[in-house]
Amino acid sequence: MNGPQVYFEIPVLKGLPITESMRNQWFVMLLILCLCVFLTHNLQKIPTGKQALAEKAVVMLNGLVDSTMGEGCRHYAPFVAAIMLSSLFGSLISVLGLRPTTADLNTTLGWALIVCFLIHYSNIKFHGLKAYLKGYLEPIFIMAPLNILSEIATPVSMSFRHFGNMAGGLVISTLLLSALAAFSNAILGFLPVPLLQIGIPGILSLYFDLFTACMQAFIFSMLTMAYVGNARS
């Protein structure tokens, strides 16, 4: 069980490593871009086929944003969709045998820091700088260190939740694979291939790769909407 492989380092700022996670995330971005172009080119007045699918997805996402953040927050929908799709495809890429990009703290912490910036930006923009700073002194001024700590805890908890779920699944899958290899060597050692490795990890993969990936993408975007909506109200 190793971390993401480092391919090479760009020699600026004490070496900027290009890792497996970054390569896979570029692949994911390319995939999403191709999907968007494929779904939206040649739009018709009366939708058919793939256009109906795309419109249904957009309507569902707009409804989710409206019901979670309240009316008048429709302009956050593209950002939420970007976070959700990056997270979903970044996790689901493990089905193709690539390392999931979300099993790397750098990826999820990056997203969480963007969301954290958006929370504070929305708060300042909506309430003004004075009310924003005054919010730290609620309910009394002694609580200021605790309020600052809870603001720092937001991106940490968001990123650790996503990273922990995906990395935990990756560790358990890897451990199970090696355990099955050792087990089939012990009882079916005369066969040239570890026979027990066939099929059994797939059942576990249904939960760890498919279910957890969809769940964490949904939770990350729901929390984004909840926090940003909370900052505006």
Partner 1 sequence: MDPRAFVAGMSALGAGCAMIAGLGPGIGEGYVAGQACAAIGRQPECQSDVTRTMILGIAMAESTGIYALVVALILIFANPLVNFYNS
Q: Which residues bind partner 1 (CB under 8 A)?
A: 1, 3, 157, 160-161, 163-165, 167-168, 171, 215, 218-219, 222-223, 226
The amino acid at residue 10 is: I
- Helix, strand, coil shares, percent, the chain, to 5: 75, 5, 20
Of 33 and 215, which has the nearer Cβ to partner 1? 215
Of 1 and 12, which has the nearer Cβ to partner 1? 1
Shortest Cβ distance from residue 210 to partner 1 (Å)?
16
Give the residue from 158, 136, 139 showing the smallest Cα distance to 148. Answer: 136
Shortest Cβ distance from residue 198 to partner 1 (Å)?
28
Shortest Cβ distance from residue 67 to partner 1 (Å)?
9
Number of residues assigned to the chain = 233
Shortest Cβ distance from residue 164 to partner 1 (Å)?
4
Of 123 and 221, which has the nearer Cβ to partner 1? 221
Q: How far apart are CA 176 and CA 197, in angstroms?
A: 9
Q: How far apart are CA 35 and CA 191, in angstroms?
A: 43
Residue 122 in contact with residue 73, Cβ under 8 Å? no
Residue 69 in contact with residue 127, Cβ under 8 Å? no
Of 29 and 219, which has the nearer Cβ to partner 1? 219
Q: Indicate the DSSP class of residue 122.
A: H
Of 191 and 226, which has the nearer Cβ to partner 1? 226
Shortest Cβ distance from residue 1 to partner 1 (Å)?
6
Residue 6 in contact with residue 17, Cβ under 8 Å? yes
